[in-house]
Each structure stands twice: as C-alpha cells, then as structure tokens.
Structure 1
Amino acid sequence: MLTSTTRAFGSPSRYIQGYGELERLQDYTADYGKKVLAIIDPFFYDTLSPSLKEAFEAAGSAIESVKFGGETTITELERLAAIASQNGSDVIVGIGGGKTIDAAKYTGIAVSAAIVIAPTSAATDAPTSALSVTYTVEGVHAETIYFKRNPDLILVDSKIVSKAPIRLLVSGMGDALSTYFEARAHLESNTANRIGKGYRMTLAGMAVSELCYQVLLEDGLKAKQAAEAGACTEALENIIEANTLLSGLGVECVGCAGAHALNSGFSAVEACRNYTHGEIVAFGTLCQLVLENRPKAEIEEVLNFSTSVGLPVTLAEIGLDARMEADLRLVAERAAKAKHIAAEPVTVNPEIIYHAILAADAMGRGWKA
C-alpha cells in the first residue's frame, strides 16, 4: 500500500529504432566513450564480431568483443564484469536476446560504464529495464537484481529484428500482453512502482501501458504476417516498439503483478523449460485475469488475440497438463511467494492460484475447441 503521493517515471536516456541502424553503432558509442566492449549473443558472435571490428577501425576507433556464455548465472556475470574492468571499458554494448542484454546491463553497472543495448529480436522488454534476471545453471530463476539507472541508449535495428524467428516476435507480444493488465493491478491495489522509495505511478506510465495493449490488438497479427513474408512494414515497426519500448516503460514505471509471479512459478517446472519467457507470461496473463475475476468479454478478447498470433492459452501449450497436480501446486507455491504477487488487488494464496491455473486452462481449451 502506498504511503506517499510522490510520482516517479524512469526510462532509458535515448531510444532509436530504424532499418539498418546497427551499421551506425560506432557513431552512437562515440557519444559515450572510447573503450567499447561488445557482449554478443553466441548465435551472432562469429558474424558480428569481425564486422564490428572492421566498421570501428574504418572510423578510426576500436571495439573489443566477447561471447556471452548463454546463461545469466552470477558466475557468468562476474566473468564479463572482470573482462570489462581489465579492459578499462567505458561503453558496454549488449547485442542479442534478453539474457545477453541483462548480462550487458549488469556489466555496465559493475564497471560504471555507459550501457548501449542492441536487441536482435523483439522477444522481450528487457532492453529498457533497470534490472538483470539471474538463473541457476539448471535454468531456474534465481534472483532479480535491480539497478539505479536504465541503459543510456536502446538501438533497435528493425532490419535485424524483422528477420528474427517468428516465434521470438510472438513471444515478445506475449510479454507485452501482460503490461496493461499488470499496470491495472498496481493501480487498483495502490502499489508502488519499482523505481524505488515507494513512489506511485505517473499518468504517463499508465497511459503507455494502455497504449501497448491497443497496439498489440491493432497490429499484432498484421506484424506477424509481415514478418512471415519477410517484409518490414509499419505494423511490424509498431509491434517492435510495443514489445521493446512501450512494454518496457510500462513495467519500469508501473510494475509487474500476477502474470510475472506465475512465470516465476512455471520456471521451476522442468516441462516448461522449452518455452520462452513471453509464452509463459502470456498464459500467466490469462491466469491473472481469472484470478481477478475479470469480465467474460475481456478474457475472450485476450483469448482471441492470443490464439490469432499463436500464443499459449492452455497448459498443454507450455508442456503441462491439468492432471499434473504436483507440478501445478509447485507453480502456485512459488508464485504466491514471488514479489510481484503483492501487486494483485485480490486475495491470493497457493490454493487460490492453483485453482486459477486450472480454470484458465479450461477456458483456453474451451476457446480452442
């Protein structure tokens, strides 16, 4: 419960999105420092590392590159921070997916360097946030580390992002789908945002969250179809922005709630580990709406959107089954202990969450029947 009337809004210093913008990386990093360290996703390392070196040398500067280890364990994060410290890096560039991005943010904070984030997909809103999520070597969520500043620059190359696997684009829509509903939960429960000091949300934070949902409904399917055709259209650019910036600002300036609490629970179940963050959060959003007993029309709108773009609406679509009681009760137990669940405007406990999961699955199965 809020005890202060002070409002707060947090965001990256700059956001730039455009076709081919990564090719101008040196122009952007020059504004922040001279010793650049790029932490690159393993999938892109062999291609991007030499091309970045060539581009920087052609401009009379230099860049060092390191391959991200693949998982944001504390050991891996400390390894990267040590490399940056040894190199005297004053600009850290993270190029890749959500975990690579989180590793770059951690590294930049650890060595007090400028942070430039260049996502290679629109799979999550990780680029904009002032946090890094850590996992165990087994892939179980370990800890969320919060920082006092956001990245200095988000550089989104829609040429690269539009060519990413379609599943990642849809996954980003799943993560973004939760933004408005979790923001509304914060509003109704009068819960502080995560900027710190017990601040309340601004009007801008809530407005961005609502806009995120509206863009998904209007452009989500069109964007998916464009990406499948190999086209980068205005609808796709809008969804890239919604997945990356709008969702990120909504989460940063308002916060997470039930959907992300459920994600923390599902991440503990082995059967869910083949599914993306956004896919799990999408089903968690449906569970949250059931938990809050939202109107039938609203739930059906979410079901319609999710099925149209290919997001999960049933347990089977995230590797589970309603008969797997032990696993589902574990999910409910972990979700009930997650920090985000405190933002829910309704009574919650493991039993209530367990039944919400079962009911959400039944609704999803009924919708698809």
Structure 2
Amino acid sequence: MIKIKAPEAYINEENILGQSGKYVSEFGNHALIIGGKTALESVGEDFFKSFRDEKIKYEVEEFHGYCSFENIDKYSDLSTKLGVDIIVGIGGGKVLDLVKAVGEKTDLPVITVPTIAATCAAWSALSVIYNEIGEHTDYILLEKSPKLVLADTNIISKAPARYLNAGIGDTIVKWYEAVPHLSENSDITLKIGLQTAKLALNILENYANELQVESRESYIKNQYKDVIDSIIILAGLVGSINGGKHRAAIGHAVHNGLTYISDTKGTLHGEKVIFGLIVQFILEGKSEREIIDLIDLLNKLDLPVTLAQLGIKDNVDDKILTIANSVNFNSDELDNLNFQVNKDLIRKAIIRADELGRDSLSLQAIV
C-alpha cells in the first residue's frame, strides 16, 4: 500500500497571516494556539485580529521545551479540557511536531504556521520525539499531515539566516540518504521520493552558489520562495510518501547520537544532520574530492563541518564513542545499502569527517 500524505492547502504569501482567520475558520471556531514566545510575537497582532474578525475563539499557550511524550499528553489533555476544535502551532520544528502529535491523539485538525524554515516540520506527517533534556528517543509516523500550512514569507525571511541554512542542510541530506537504497527492485515510493529530493537539491545548491555573487537580501527578492518551498514542501513530501518500509538514514542517525552530547544543545537539527552527511560520505567510500566539495558547500552556508563547531571541544574521543554507540539499525533498514555500517566504522568516519572539516577551515583562514 502506498500513502502520500499532504496538507489540504499550503499558502505561501507575504503577509498571509493577516488573513489567517479566513482560512482557519474552514476547520473550526475554537483554537488552541501553541507557540514559543518569539514566534508568537513575530506573527503580530494582525494574526490574532483575523481570528477575532472571523469570530474564532482562541486560547494561547506559550511553549517551552521539546516535543516529548509528556508534552503531547499535557497539551492533548488541555485541548480536551478547553473544548477546542482546532490546534494551531506557531514556530519551528519542536512546536510544530508537538501540535501534529496532539492533533493525532485528539483527532483534531492541525494548522501549522512556520516562522522559520529550518525543517520540513510544517508539512511532514512525522513527529520527532525527545525527552525533557533534548535527547532523541523516538518518532511517530502520523496518519496525516496538517490540514493547512500558512507560510508567511515576509516573516520567514526576517528570521536569522542560520535557520534557513539549517533547513537547507536538512533538505540536502534527504537526497543523499535515500539514493544508496535505490536498486532495480526499489518500489515506486522510493523513486518518487528521490525525484522530489533531487529537485530540492538542485534548487538549494543553486542558492548556495548564488550567495557568492549576490547578497542574501537581493536573492530573497528573486527566488526566496523557491528556497522556502524546497525546505517545507519538497522535503516534507520526501518524508510523507510511504510504502511501509523503513530505511537507514545515516545523517539523521548521527544527528540523534549528537543529541546525547550536552555540548550540542545550542545547535539546530539541520546543523547536526548535515555533519552526519559528511560521515555518510566517508562510510560510502566517496572520493576525498567529493567529500571536500560537500564541505566547501557547507562552508558557503556557514554550516558546521567540525565537532568543535557543534560545541564538542573536550573529551572528544569519549563523546565520539557515545555518538557512534547510539546509532542502531536493524537488518531490514540496511537492505540495499552498498556500503557497510557498524558502530566502529561510524566512530572512525566521525573522526575523519572532523579532520577534513578542520582542514577546510585552516585553508579558509590562509586564503
């Protein structure tokens, strides 16, 4: 069976949030709005006024923390207690994953309002689960994507460039994680996902190269929508086309291991994932030229290419071992990979990735 999960509508326009109430009213008239302090401030008073104009009652909850099973239970209970009929999430991946899981548990429609484009969480039918101190523990494959995504490009473009770069990193990884699984016997879902991921990869690599010849502000005016859509729509689709088979995702597995190192708490999802891609390239046995080309691309985007840039600066060997030991795949997930993966090889690949990353930074300093 093939499932392709997608929102009923995705609206990406400047200042669309001033019309939010009109779109949200199609799904209910009493909303629980959950978002971080900065995200709630960024959407502005026009967002809330549009709810009032459409006679939508709303309750606002400021969220701090992670998408954990405890928080899913907490906000599910709250939504039942309040008697709401819509869940609205405002912000980045943690809160958007939370509201999707709450919607699934309570069987309520979910509207996502991304204020940054750091992941595909606004679209995807997946919630990544952490414990209360930010260590990755699990994920939930959801039955459906959000009903509606409202992506105000004006707000997203004002976010620090670091978030967009992390989103680019997370999206680039999608192609490279999937392509090693391709074989003559691959099902159509993998092939669709790969073509979608390749389109996103082409758009984002072009963006990274264009940054060298024109300012980010100039690029925003010309092709910024394509970049946002690649991160939210295309990457979201890659993760939401499911034929029921789980596949090893090396970059994301390294990310998960990095969450167990407290030094990395200040880094973003895409920043950890993209370092994991360097590790994957080494495991695959790619040429040093290919690996250096990847690292050069990441340097253009100010993405981390060393453990120190991820915050790991002492007891490095012990922490590398912790990361490597946390990576677990079953045999089914490793099917069709044309390279070997085990904990010791991952440990060695992390060490080599860090060496090559440090070399690239040294060369930059000389130039």
TM-score using structure 1 length: 0.88
Structure 2: segments with no counterpart, 5+ residues: none
Structure 1 residue 362: Cα displacement = 1.9
Inter-partner Cα distance in structure 2 for 1:272 and 1:263: 10
- Picking from 73, 80, 85, the partner of 1:85 is 80
Contact 2:25 2:54 (C-alpha < 8 Å) held by counterparts: no
User: Equivalent residue of 2:29, what SS?
Assistant: coil
Secondary structure of the equivalent of 1:336? coil
Shift of residue 232, structure 1, vs aligned partner: 3.2
Of 221, 232, 237, which aligns to 1:249? 237
Contact 1:35 1:63 in 2 (8 A): yes
Tell me what 1:315 maps to: 307
Of 138-147 and 332-341, the range deviating more from structure 2: 332-341
Percent identity, please: 27
> 2: distance between equivalents of 1:359 and 1:212?
28
Whether the 8 Å contact between 2:248 and 2:329 is mirrored in structure 1 is no
How many Å apart are 1:15 and its aligned residue?
A: 1.8
Structure 2 counterpart SS, 1:240: helix
Instruction: Please state how far the C-alpha of 1:52 moved relative to its aligned partner.
Output: 3.6
Q: Which residue of 2 aligns with 1:58?
A: 53
- Correspondence for 1:353: 346
The answer for the alignment partner of 2:8 in structure 1 is: 13
Q: Give the conservation status (yes or no) of the 8 Å contact 1:159–1:232.
A: no
- Matched with 1:201 is 189
* Residues 65-74 or 315-324, more deviating: 315-324
Cα 1:149/1:270, change in 2 over 3 Å: same
- Tell me the distance in 1 between the aligned counterparts of 2:357 and 2:92: 29
Q: CA RMSD in A?
A: 2.7
Q: Partner of 1:196 in structure 2?
A: none
For 1:220 and 1:32, the matched residues in 2 are separated by 38
> What is the CA-CA distance between 1:21 and the residue it aligns to?
1.2
Pairwise CA distance, 1:286:
0.8
Alpha-carbon distance between aligned partners in 1 of 2:323 and 2:332, rounded to the nearest angstrom? 14
Alignment of 1:1-369 (within 5 A): 7-45=2-40, 48=43, 51-188=46-183, 201-220=189-208, 222=210, 229=217, 232-253=220-241, 257-320=249-312, 324-336=316-328, 342=334, 344-368=337-361, 369=363
Q: Using the alignment, how far apart are the partners of 1:351 and 1:137 within structure 2?
A: 29
For residue 189 of structure 1, report the CA deviation from its aligned partner: 10
C-alpha spacing 1:100/1:118, structure 2 compared with 1 (3 Å) = same
Q: Structure 2 vs 1, CA of residues 103 and 299 (structure 1 numbering), >3 Å: closer, same or farther?
A: same
Label 1:357 to 1:217 Cα distance change in 2 as closer, same or farther (>3 A): same
Provide Cα deviations, 1:316-366, integer angstroms capped at 9, x if missing partner.
211225971111011001023589963644221110100111111222222
Give the direction of change, closer, same or farther, for the CA distance of 1:18–1:182 in structure 2 (3 Å limit). same
Cα distance change on mapping 1:80 and 1:323 into 2, 3 Å: closer
Note the C-alpha offset of 1:123. Answer: 0.7
Alpha-carbon distance in 2 for matches of 1:285, 1:208? 19
- How many residues end up aligned between the 2 structures? 357
Partner SS, residue 36 of structure 1: strand
